[in-house]
Amino acid sequence: MNNVPDDKKDQIIKGKLNKFLKENTLLGQALITDPKKKCKFFFK
């Protein structure tokens, strides 16, 4: 990562963080009954 420009580092970090949150938080996971919808829409 030393040779990567700062703006690219920010994009990589944001992407990895978003992926982690999607996979590891309830609100980011897909509903079992309808995988196209996320749990956060069900709880609203």
Which three-class secondary structure string do you get for the chain?
CCCCCHHHHHHHHHHHHHHHHHHHCHHHCECCCCCCCEHHHHHC
| 28 within some domain | yes
| 27 within some domain | yes
pLDDT tens digits, residue range 1-44?
Answer: 788 898 899 999 999 999 998 889 988 888 888 888 888 887 87
| 34 within some domain | yes
| 37 within some domain | yes
Please tell me the predicted confidence (pLDDT) of residue 17: 96
pTM of the full structure? 0.64
| 1 within some domain | no
Q: How many domains does the chain have?
A: 1
Please tell me the predicted confidence (pLDDT) of residue 42: 77
